[in-house]
Amino acid sequence: MIDLPLLQKHPLWPSLQAVQAGRVYALDGNHYLNRSGPRLVESAELLARVMWGEKFGMEVDAQGWKQLE
């Protein structure tokens, strides 16, 4: 989350469709995405939940991601 203010200051940030639609998420990359291993399935589930929301039909670790405003 340290880099988020840098991204938000970028002149093109407000023009991104995901930003305009309120569909920007931060994921705990260190915990889930940076290393392969036993958490690979959890990482895939987390990404599916973020991309497809309630349609995914499965609860995932709420600590692993955050929707940004």
15-35 in b/e form (b: 16+ CB < 10 A) is eeeebeeeebeeebeeebeee
- The number of distinct structural domains making up the chain is 1
Sign of the CA dihedral running 43, 44, 45, 48: positive
Question: Is residue 6 in a domain?
Answer: no
pLDDT recorded at residue 19: 92
* Domain-embedded: residue 4: no
Coil/strand/helix, residue 11: coil
Domain assignment of residue 67, given as a range? 24-69
Tell me which residues of the chain have a pLDDT lower than 50. none
Measured in degrees and rounded to the nearest 5, phi and psi for residue 3 equal: -85, -10
Q: What pLDDT, on a 0 to 100 scale, did the predictor assign at position 1? A: 66
| Residue at 15 is within a domain | no
Return the residue matching tokens 């692993």: 64
Asked whether residue 31 is domain-assigned, the answer is: yes
Matching residue, tokens 């929707």: 67
pLDDT of residue 10: 94
What is this structure's pTM? 0.68
